Amino acid sequence: MSNTGLGAALRKLRDRRTLSVREVGKLSDVDHAYVHRLETGEKTKPSPELVGRLLRALKTNERDAAIVKWLVEHPDANPQLVEFVLDDPSIEVDIFTVAAGARHRGRGRPDPATLIERVRRALNTADDE
């Protein structure tokens, strides 16, 4: 399991294309060991150029590419939330970024579905005012 949101996203997108780490490395011209380190969270700040090469190799859509680019700058995003959002194309990038940036009081963190629903309700309420 990935320790970072970026790692979770890269792994999810790689699995979606049924590619190995070595195959992604070859397609993107990025060392496969570095791809592995990104996925595990050992490395967290790839260059924009490297991210672009990975996204092209993974053939991401615009939404998923925007999520990955946001995650490069926000390494503390919850990996479970990232996986949940990537599995549900109906969740817009702005909903994701608000949910991923939310801070929680107490020890409990809401599950991703609950968190997304709370953000949607809050944003809809703000739009209605």
When pLDDT is cut at 50, 70 and 90, the band that residue 75 belongs to is confident
CA distances from 87 to 48, 83, 84, 99 (A): 24, 6, 5, 15
DSSP assigned state of 15:
H
**Average pLDDT over all residues of the chain:** 92
User: 82-116, pLDDT tens digit by residue?
Assistant: 999 999 999 999 999 999 988 767 677 789 999 99
Q: What is the DSSP letter of 77?
A: S
Task: Return d(Cα 96, Cα 80) in angstroms, integer.
Answer: 12
Domain that holds residue 64: 5-128
- Name the domain count of the chain: 1
Segment 77-87, tens digit of pLDDT: 999 999 999 99
In this predicted structure, the answer to whether residue 117 has a pLDDT above a threshold of 90 is: yes
CATH code for the domain of 97: 1.10.260.40
Greater confidence, 106 or 25? 25
- Of residues 67, 54, 41, 69, the one with CA closest to residue 14: 54
